[in-house]
Chain A
Amino acid sequence: MDRSRFVIDSVEAEQMAKQSGRTLLQLLPSLVKSAQAMARPPISKFHVGAVGLGSSGRIFFGVNLEFPGLPLNQSVHAEQFLITNLFLNGEPRLKYISVSAAPCGHCRQFLQEIRGAPDVKILIASDDDDEKENKTNINCNDKDREFTPLSNFLPNRFGPDDLLPKDAPLLLEPHRNGLSFCSDSRNSNTDDGEDNLKYAALDAANMSYAPYSGCPSGVALVDVEGKIYKGSYMESAAYNPSVQPVQAAIVAYMARGGGGYERIVGAVLVEKAEGVIKQEDAARLILQCISPKCEFKAFQCEKA
């Protein structure tokens, strides 16, 4: 795999499985190492890979991202990357995940936002049989060879159903927030390129999952080649594990082969004018840190 790939379509996934004499499910843990290789953890050097199978039969990758110069709560976990990747690709449902290490509590919590979370099947992969025998880590036991429901990893969960009405759409489920630019943001002086970026960010804000704060938001990034990458804010019932819109856009950047962060030259954030929470200042900080030359603008929107 020369070019970093973060999605494998269902036909190719079947083919890969067949060629290596495995079932599709057995293929997942075998791909974890190649996922790990794509991680960007310059602080810990602890590479985490997550490989997920969606209901469409497509395989998705997730890796962890760390940002020197920022507090640790700006990190993106591999499982969060994975979910963001499903979101970008319109995948409605996650069925199986294989990960290189036990998901931490933060991720087990974030995963609760998806429909049927307790039934998502998880496998903590280890390299090969030799490692399994040598491992003294308590994580190594028979359970590791089988997919186990997420409900085992987070029993007595705190989740969306503690806070939302029964029929509320969950993460990965379609919804439109009905946002459009406030009049001053609409008329600001921007050229076509900037307009594209602005509207991409608005689109991302419209797809954003923010039922707890009621403050959806989106970020769009543009690289030196003019390619645009969008990320939507995705909230967690437990608040802190929420994925901020800049991070979601960086996942999009990486998942579509973006390269180094310094190639990001422009960014737009769109969020509500009088929201109870604000992303702008934190978004500016993050972008200044990872790509100092990136020009950042914030525009406000309102519900139509």
Chain B
Amino acid sequence: MDRPRFVIDSAEAEQMAKQSGQTVLQLLPSLVKSAQILARPPISKYHVGAVGMGSSGRIFLGVNLEFPGLPLNQTVHAEQFLITNLSLNAEPRLKYLAVSAAPCGHCRQFLQELRGAPDVKLLISSSEDEKENKLNNCCNDKDQEFTPLSHFLSHRFGPDDLLEKDAPLLLESHRNGLSFRSNLCNDKIDGGDDLKHAALEAANMSHAPYSGCPSGVALLDVEGKIYKGSYMESAAYNPSLPPAQAALVAYVASCGGGGYERIVGAVLVEKEDAVIKQEHTSRLLLQCISPKCEFKVFHCTKN
């Protein structure tokens, strides 16, 4: 696998399983190590890999991303990367998840935003040798089977504590009905209208039912490719994934292993009189990872 891949289509997944004499479910933990290699954790050097299977049968990878020079709350966890990857690829449902280490509480909470979260089946995988040597209390028979997420976060605090019964959840379609005010159309940026409109589109798909402040970021690389990311909120607030991070996930998942310095332009679209604002922290993040990146903010309104 020369070029890092973050999605495996269902036919190929079945084939890979067959070739290695495994079921597709057994294949998931065997892919965790190759996911870990793709992680970018320069602060901890602690590589986390997550491998998920969606209802479509496709397999998705997630890895952790750390950003030196910024506070630790800007970090992206492998499970969050995975969910963002599902979102980018319009996968409506996560069914199984294999991870290289026990998901932390922040992630177990973020995962609650999914429909049927308590039933998502989780496996904490480790290599055979590691299983024997492990003194950690994680090592028990349970690790060999998929266990429902409800076991890992009982008595959950989740969307149903705050939202209406029929509110769309994360990965379900959203249209936020946002558009630019006409007098903003003349502001020029490299990548032009495409970048601006990509960010607007990302803002329109953003899941932000708690603050009512959806937002999106679009990034432009040196080759003119555009990567979009939507803000994804958590009922517990703090685990929410900011739009710049979501766009970076799109970049890492699709850019074939390139560095952040290849990102030359970025647009954030958010509501003008929003009760929460992404602008300043997005700017800080982008300045940090790609100092030459041109960053612009455009405000939108609900129709």
Residues of A in contact with B (beta carbons under 8 Å apart):
43-44, 46, 66, 68-73, 75, 77, 101-110, 112, 124, 137-139, 143, 152-158, 162-163, 212-213, 235-242, 244, 276-279, 281-282, 285
Q: Is the interface of B mostly helix, strand, loop or mixed?
A: loop
Question: B80 — nearest CB in chain A belongs to which residue?
Answer: A240
Inter-chain CA distance A237–B124, complex, in Å, is 18
Residue of B75, B105, B284 near A282 (CB, 8 A) is B284
Chain B residue nearest to A151 in the complex (CB): B137
B138 touches A156 (CB 8 A): yes
A75: nearest chain-B partner, CB-CB: B237
- Contacts A71-B240, A73-B242, A213-B72 given; indicate if A124 touches B106 (C-beta within 8 A): no
**Which are the 5 A-B pairs with shortest beta-carbon distances?**
A109-B105, A105-B109, A238-B104, A104-B236, A105-B105
Report B-chain residues with C-beta under 8 Å of the C-beta of A106: 105-106, 109, 236, 238-239
Contact B276 A72 (CB under 8 A): yes
Would you call B242 and A71 a contact (CB within 8 A)? yes
Query: By the criterion CB–CB under 8 Å, are B69 and A278 in contact?
Result: yes
Q: Are B155 and A124 in contact (CB under 8 A)?
A: yes
Give the CA-CA distance A163 to B275 in the complex, in Å: 37
The reply to whether the CB of B297 lies closer than 8 angstroms to some CB of chain A is no
B72 to nearest A CB, angstroms? 4
Cβ 8 A contact of B236, one of A105, A137, A157, A285? A105
Against A, the Cβ 8 Å flags (1 = close, 0 = not) of B239-279 are 11010000000000000000000000000000000011110
Asked if A102 and B105 sit within 8 Å, CB to CB, the answer is: no
Interface locus among B19-27, B146-154, B166-174, B197-205: B146-154
Complex contact B102–A157 (CB within 8 A): yes
* Interface check B44, CB cutoff 8 A: yes
Interface check B211, CB cutoff 8 A: yes
Contact A109 B155 (CB under 8 A): no
The answer to whether B105 touches A244, judged by C-beta atoms less than 8 angstroms apart, is no
Asked if residues B162 and A70 are in contact (CB atoms below 8 Å), the reply is no
Listed in ascending order, the chain B residues whose CB lies under 8 Å from chain A are: 43-44, 46, 66, 68-73, 75, 77, 101-110, 112, 124, 136-138, 142, 151-157, 161-162, 210-211, 233-240, 242, 275-278, 280-281, 284
Interchain CA distance A44-B234 in the complex, whole Å:
12
A240 touches B155 (CB 8 A): no
Give the one of B46, B66, B71 with max A CB within 10 A.
Answer: B71
- Who on chain B is nearest to A77 by CB? B238
Asked if A68 contacts B102 (CB within 8 A), the reply is no
Q: Verify B101–A73 contact, CB threshold 8 A.
A: no
Minimum CB–CB distance from B144 to chain A (whole Å) comes to 13
| Chain A interface, DSSP helix/strand/loop, else mixed | loop
Report the minimal beta-carbon distance from A108 to chain B, rounded to whole angstroms.
Answer: 4
Decide: A105 near B106, CB < 8 A? Known: A69-B277, A213-B72, A279-B71: yes
CB–CB A143/B69 < 8 A:
no
Q: Is there an interface contact between B70 and A155, defined as CB atoms closer than 8 Å? A: no
Min Cβ gap B19→A in Å is: 32
The answer to whether A162 touches B101 (Cβ under 8 A) is yes
The residues of A that contact B103 with a CB separation of less than 8 Å are 158
Give 12 pairs: A residue, B residue, CB < 8 Å, sorted on A: A77-B238, A101-B157, A102-B156, A105-B104, A138-B155, A239-B44, A241-B104, A242-B71, A277-B72, A282-B70, A282-B71, A282-B281
Given the contacts A102-B156, A242-B73, A277 and B43 also touching, CB distance less than 8 Å: yes
Tell me the bound Cα distance from A103 to B278 in angstroms.
Answer: 26
Q: What residues of chain A lie closer than 8 Å to B161, measured between beta carbons?
A: 101, 137
- In the complex, the answer to whether B105 meets A73 with C-beta atoms within 8 Å is no
For residue B156, give the distance in angstroms from its CB to the closest CB of chain A: 7
User: From A124, which residue of chain B is reached at the shortest CB distance?
Assistant: B155
**In the complex, A155 Cα to B153 Cα: how many Å?**
8
A213 CB contacts on chain B under 8 angstroms? 43, 72
Residues of the A chain whose Cβ atoms lie less than 8 Å from the Cβ of B237: 44, 66, 72-73, 75
In the bound complex, CA of A282 to CA of B283 (Å): 11
CA distance A109 to B275 in the complex (A): 27
CB neighbours of B153 from chain A (8 A): 105, 108, 153-154
CB distance from B162 to the nearest CB of A (A): 7
What's the minimum C-beta distance from A288 to chain B, rounded to whole angstroms?
Answer: 9
Supplied contacts A104-B236, A105-B156, A239-B73, 4 more A-B pairs, CB within 8 Å: A72-B211, A105-B236, A154-B105, A285-B280
**Cβ contacts under 8 Å, A112 to chain B:** 105
Q: Is the CB of A43 within 8 A of B102?
A: no
